[in-house]
Homo-oligomer: A and B are copies of this chain.
Amino acid sequence: MTQEIGRRPNIYDVASAAGVSKSLVSLVLRGAPGVSPARRAAVEEAIERLNYRPSRAAATLAGNRSRTIGVVLDDYRNLWFVDLLAGLHDQLAPLGFRVAVADPSFNAHLDRTPVDGLMSLRVDGIVIATEPTEEMFAAVDVPVVVAGNRDMAVPGADVVANDDMMGGRLATEHLIGLGHREIGHVSGGGGAARLRAQGYDTAMRERGLRPHIARGQGLTTESDGYQAALKLLDESPSLTAIFAANDTMALGAAGAARDRGRRIPEELSLIGYDNSPLASANLLRLTTIDGRNAEVGAGAAKALLNRMEDRAVQIGTMLVEPELVIRASTAAL
């Protein structure tokens, strides 16, 4: 036994324990074809016996790639990303790729942007699931796709998103179809919110209805939704329905409705956006727009994979069609 105690086993330890070369161990590790079943079994047995865990650092360094896709999130509290990650994961994991999320309150002491952190990890691709900024793209030479936001036309970066404008229209037309005419919109900061508002605005004007939009102080949090909805209800008491730019803001709007004594859906219809876990909560049973984030995630994965094979291929912008999910927060007037 040449292995000293206290040292983590490496690929050579496994090789000698299995009676093969380190290269063969490497092949087994990567699931390469063309390894005889007998040797493969011997290597796997040795791995198990030694409790060997390959060093990703060494693999990344030697292979000049990490087989990891980085995801930049914005806020854990807004749960729209959960399905996005699931969609990414489902596509990527079978191909041996890992998904690494960059902490939203990212390691600012060490990097200027979350993307820096991912680049120093040598990720093979990046999904940006937050408002993109110019500086994020500064030092990136791997495929990038922006998910869920069509705001920024980044040369060379694909965009996969749900069609927010269509979703805004869908939500609004659902309410109009239920007989509502006085419909308010609770909006927030950011590109997706802007497009949703635009869809709302178009749908309203097409029917000759007057849009009422209130925007919260901050971005798209519950309290922003609460404040904006309060404003809407106070300034336009004749409103019979509210479309909120996302489910979290819809939760805020539901609070505002309760505080103004407006029962949902009897006295006020409410529709959200994202079909997040929150929307299915029994207290809300929120009618919402499902942006089909799992499919957005899957699309982002495919875009990345395409571009990793061939940098020239570009899908440009891919839009996923959103769907109306009717629950109990909207009712006929």
Contact B93 A98 (CB under 8 A): no
Please give the number of chain A residues whose Cβ is less than 8 angstroms from any Cβ of chain B in the complex: 58
This protein's copies in its complex:
2
Contact with B along A86-113 (1 / 0, CB 8 A): 1001000110101111010101111000
Contact between A283 and B57, CB atoms less than 8 A apart: no
Could you tell me if A101 and B103 are in contact, using CB atoms closer than 8 angstroms? Answer: yes
B8, B100, B252: the one within 8 Å of A100 (CB): B100
Over the window 227-260 of chain A, the binary record of Cβ atoms lying under 8 Å from chain B Cβ atoms (1 yes, 0 no) is: 0000000000000000000000001101110110
Closest to A93 in B: B109
Asked if B281 and A51 sit within 8 Å, CB to CB, the answer is: no
Chain B residues closer than 8 Å to A200, beta-carbon distance: none
Contacting pair B139 A51 (CB below 8 A): yes
Kindly list chain B residues whose C-beta atoms are within 8 Å of the C-beta of A61.
Answer: 55, 57-58, 61
Asked if A223 lies at the interface with its beta carbon under 8 angstroms from chain B, I say yes
Q: Is the CB of B105 within 8 A of A89?
A: yes
**Is A204 part of the contact surface with B, judged by Cβ < 8 Å?**
no
The interface stretch among A11-19, A119-127, A182-190 is A119-127
**What mask results when residues 265 to 283 of chain A are scored 1 for a CB within 8 Å of chain B, else 0?**
0000000000001001111
Say if the beta carbon of A32 comes within 8 Å of chain B.
no
Distance, CA A108 to CA B54, complexed state (A): 16
